[in-house]
Every structure is written in structure tokens, then in C-alpha cells.
Amino acid sequence: MTDTLETPSAPVIVQERRIVTAIPGPKSQQLHERRRAVVSDGVSSTLPVYIDHAHGAIVVDVDGNQFIDLGAGIGVTTIGHTNDAVVAAATAQLADFTHTLFTITPYESYVRVAELLAEHTPGDHAKKSVLVNSGAEAVENGVKIARKYTGRGGIAVLEHAYHGRTNLTMAMNFKAAPYSTGYGPFAGDVYRAPNSYPFHDGLTGPQAAARTIGYLEKTVGASELACLVVEPIQGEGGFQVPADGYLPALQQWCTDNGIVFIADEIQSGMARTGKYFASEHFGLVPDLVLSAKGIAGGLPLAGVTGRAEIMDASQPGGLGGTFGGNPVAAAAAVAVFEQIESHNLLAEAGRIEGVLKPGLLALQEKHPVIGDVRGIGAMIAIELVQEGTHEPNSAAVTSIAAYAAQNGVILLTAGTYGNVLRFLPSLAISDELLVDALGVIADGFAAL
């Protein structure tokens, strides 16, 4: 007797924008009513259209509206929604087994993800990994591992950083509202130093690094720090690309002072910027690299990867957790790495930059409210200002994002002052969709 399992095929969606109802449509509005009764108000939704299915760079809501997705679930479906290979790998694993717990009885896909992370994170030293469930959990583990290795307690972070919503990571974030307002007391021993923000500080990389290092040396002292945690390109903070030489100087200072240099590549990693990890653009070889968001095509998975001697300082049983490195998520992650290789997806990020950046720079010529256009690969942002100043203009950001949503483009905001629009499309997005989305955004600026 054959007992075949149907492999659900990915939905066929014509890759085009199509708005057929008011936004949100009637079915979304009904779902929203149900949600309001039972889902905590603490969980918000940027655009309350309820999604029915998705493929590539298009998401389709329950009313049949098709949106160009420039957010990819905040840089998660980096290789596209319902990528066929990821769907097939996860589906096959789902049928084989869904859980044993790696720390009870292990399985190959966890090992394979660790091999791939060792291969594709910067540096050719011996590396090891631990897999966990979320970005914040990766940050927590990175800090734990660094503390155990160094025997020190202090954690250094940068202004405008975002590291998550757990107790420790709330303490590491720059922005209080909405992430940490009212949720204290917070973990201690966290020290926040000025970062490099070329649009605002006008400092060269070495000048900004001297400021960061000087601040940390004065306020805490290098000998007290277990780690410095940096996003090579800040995510929620607004896609600040640090000035040349800034990050290498910080890394050198960490090396000289026995501080573990941790790159939080949760948003900037996994092919997002045209390299596996954005650290490579700056010549960094971090001691530990944190990955999450884009690693498993939308399934929850995260990792800490780093120097073997640092990773091995933890005692057996010190690292882990019930769901960490779940087999279905791990199988999906292996497929994501294979897709990046077999389809040369790193090059797609450059293609996307080649369409977005010139398009946005042309818009900037017409609209002085666009103060800055920045980013690398498929991680591009514009910072909106009060004309003729560097003062934040969050009202303009809100209206452009709303205009885009009404016209079928999902566009995310960012920035400590809410005045940044960020573009995080999947690498599967076509030039045509990008140009179409840029047209909508241009109309939004014209309507300001």
C-alpha cells in the first residue's frame, strides 16, 4: 500500500500590484474586529490587511488585493515568499519528524546549518554555532557566551541600536518608546556609546571611532567589558551606514582589549546586502556573528556563530532551549543557503540597489524633504527632514507609507525619530516591480 503525501505546491501569483477594494478591504476589516477582541493591544500591525497567500515579492490579502512587498516581513523572506525549494525542504522535514530536541537526540540538519554558518560568516578561523529561535535570543546568547569566555560583565552597545524585546535586549536598545516604556526594571551593566551617523555627525570614521572608544573608556573602562555589540548597518535605527574606517577601528580596539566583538547581523545578514554578512563590506571579522531574520525563509531560526574557543567556553548544558534549531526550520535554512548559491542571489542585491538608489536619488532632486539616501544592496533607506534642515520629518514618512499602502505597496518605516523609510525587498523582486513601486512612492511625494 502506498501512502503518499501530497506536497502542497506554492500558490501561483502573477507578480503584479492589484488593488480591488478599499484598503483594508471588508474581509480584513471583519478579521480586525475579531482580532481586537482577543489579541493584545500591545501587538500592533503596521497595515491591517490580513494575508491569505504570498509568492515571490507579492502578498495577497483575504480581499484579493495584491501588494508589492518592500518589507519582506522585516527582511525575513529575503529569497522570496514561498520559495519552491524552501517549501519542499520544510514540507519533507515536516513529514519525517518535527521535533526531538537536539540536546536530547540530535539530527543532521542542525549540524549542516552550523557548517554553512561556519563557511559563510567572515573569517577562516575555526567556528562553532548554537541555534536558537529568535533574534533577541541570539543576542542574549551572544552576550552569555562572551561573558562566560571573558569572565567580565559589561555590555557595550551603540546609540540608535535595536537588539530585541526581551529584558536584556530592551536594556540594549536605544529607543525607549514603544519597546521598553513601562517594562522595567531592566538588566544592568549595559553601556551605550555614540555611533557613527554620517548624515548627522559629519565625522570621519576614525573621528567617530575615537569618540565611541573614548566614551566607553571614560564611562566604564575597557577591562570591564565582555563585549561590544554592533549592527554593521543599523536596522530599526534607520539603516545608518557607518563612515569608512569606523567599524574596523572598533574591532581593533576590542581585539586589543580582550573584548568580544559581536556583529548583530540579524537584519543585515543572509545575503541582504549582497554579501552573506554586511561585515564583509567593512572588512570586519567579528568574534561572534548573530543571524536570524532571513536565515530560514520565514521559519523561526537564529544562530550565534563564532570563534571556536569562545563558543566552547560554555559548559555542556549551558546553551540550548526546547525549540532551538527546530528540524523544520533547520531544513528550510539549508535550502535558503542552497538557493543563494545555486541562483547566485548575492548578485541580486546589487541589481536591486542599482534600481532603487538612482530612483530615490532622482526623487531627492525633486523633493528636498528627502535629506539622505543610503544603504547597501537590498537594504536601502531614505531619511526625511524638514526642508533645508536635518530635523526629522516623521509626518512625511507617515503619509508616504500610508499612500503606498493605499496603492498596493508595503513600505516600512524606521529610525529613532520615525523619519526613515526603509526598503527591504526580497531578492526575488523584479526590476519591473521595483520601478512600479518607485512610481507609487513618487506619486506619494508629489501628493505631500
Strand partners, 306: 128, 288
C-beta contacts of 37-46 below 8 A and 24+ residues apart: 46/401, 46/412, 46/413
CA distances, 426 to each of 56, 411, 421, 423 (Å): 7, 12, 16, 10
User: CA 70, 71, 73, 79 torsion: positive or negative?
Assistant: positive
69 makes contact with ligand PLP (CB under 6 A): no
What DSSP string describes 197-232? -HHHH---HHHHHHHHHHHHHHHT-GGGEEEEEE-S
Name which position in 163, 175, 272, 275 contacts ligand PLP (CB under 6 A).
163
Q: Which stretch binds ligand PLP (CB under 6 A): 33-41, 116-124, 201-209, 259-267?
A: 259-267
- Residues in contact with ligand PLP, counted by CB under 6 A, come to a total of 14
Distance (Å, rounded) from C-alpha 54 to C-alpha 142? 33
As measured in angstroms, the least distance from the Cβ of 169 to ligand PLP is 7
Q: Pick from 155, 228, 266, 334: which binds ligand PLP (CB under 6 A)?
A: 266
Return the DSSP state at 367.
-
CB of 248 to ligand PLP, least distance (A): 20
**Which position among 69, 140, 264, 280 is part of the footprint of ligand PLP (CB under 6 A)?**
264
- Count CB neighbours of 291 within 10 A: 31
* Closer CB to ligand PLP, 165 or 343, in the complex: 165
| CB 202 to ligand PLP: min, Å | 25
**Cα(11)–Cα(125) distance, integer angstroms:** 42
Q: Which stretch binds ligand PLP (CB under 6 A): 28-36, 135-143, 181-189, 271-279?
A: 135-143
Closest to 156 in 3D by CA, of 206, 232, 215: 215
Min dist. Cβ of residue 75 to ligand PLP (A)? 7
Residues in 330-369 at the binding interface with ligand PLP, rule: CB under 6 A: none
By CB under 6 A, the residues from 172 to 231 that bind ligand PLP are: 231
Q: What's the residue count for the chain?
A: 448
* Per CB under 6 A, 425 contacts ligand PLP: no
Q: Which of residues 278-317 bind ligand PLP (CB under 6 A)?
A: 292-293
Binding residues vs ligand PLP (CB under 6 A): 134-136, 139, 162-164, 231, 235, 264, 266-267, 292-293
